[in-house]
Structure 1
């Protein structure tokens, strides 16, 4: 899909489930793909007994990547001009994440978006902004 100027206006909202029931396997696969083997994400004993967390949790960049996929699925590949986030909470195995993208401004050739990815309890885990190029 490619987002066109006539497709959106300020206030247009799109929602996408980016992961349903995140698995430990997905977290470990991301560790392998990224090279980030921090034991907080891969070693249950370390995460619980050394670091004091309830268990392993997902990499922030995995959550950002899933959020980014929701963006490019909407605006089109190669259309994302900027994308930045803040990490607000951990993402745990079993979580379901939904990304909500809201148009905040429409320009002649681009669109600005606010992005929020929340878990199944409605807790924001990633918030951010993006700008995407519009097709004429």
Structure 2
């Protein structure tokens, strides 16, 4: 894990380096088992296409979790996120190949609050689609 980010080292407007998260079908099957969301649109290509989807899609909460992971990795502390919310704006389509899909997450420091907290505005994309909107995390820094 990276060293904990210090509040005094962060400035409003600071861009955080982006990170890519690979998503393969096996990740969705594991997430389905862990979350209890066994909807076949997340693992069965035939079913997903029967209901009008282009292919299997990632769980929205799985996508949200990748952006949350991005924040905790940046902060250097898995317990640093004190508030977090997103809106789901597009699907992450996960083809059945060795590449799967990629979720690219980036962030910018939007605001510095009292008590060594910062607001991070997040952007998450898969392909050409912005998959999360209004994504914000309040992070407790060292």
TM-score relative to the length of structure 1: 0.90
* Superposed displacement of residue 17, structure 1: 2.3
- Unaligned runs of 5+ residues in structure 1 are none
What SS class does the counterpart of residue 96 from structure 1 fall into? strand
Is 1:59 aligned to residue 59 of structure 2? yes
Which residue of the other structure, out of 85, 107, 119, is the alignment partner of 1:112? 119
- 1:27·1:42 contact (CA, 8 Å) conserved in 2? yes
- Unaligned runs of 5+ residues in structure 2 are 95-99
Is 1:11 aligned to residue 13 of structure 2? yes
Aligned to 2:36: 35
* Superposed displacement of residue 96, structure 1: 1.2
TM-score relative to the length of structure 2: 0.86
State how far apart, in whole Å, the 2-side matches of 1:7 and 1:55 are: 43
State how far apart, in whole Å, the 1-side matches of 2:47 and 2:78 are: 38
What SS class does the counterpart of residue 52 from structure 1 fall into? coil
* Superposed displacement of residue 3, structure 1: 1.8
Is 1:95 aligned to residue 101 of structure 2? yes
| Aligned-residue CA RMSD (Å) | 1.3
* Superposed displacement of residue 15, structure 1: 2.9
What SS class does the counterpart of residue 34 from structure 2 fall into? helix
State how far apart, in whole Å, the 1-side matches of 2:53 and 2:104 are: 24
Aligned to 2:70: 70
Aligned to 1:45: 46
State how far apart, in whole Å, the 1-side matches of 2:104 and 2:123 are: 8
State how far apart, in whole Å, the 2-side matches of 1:129 and 1:87 are: 12
Q: How many residues align?
A: 132
State how far apart, in whole Å, the 1-side matches of 2:52 and 2:25 are: 18
Runs of at least 4 residues off by over 6 Å = none
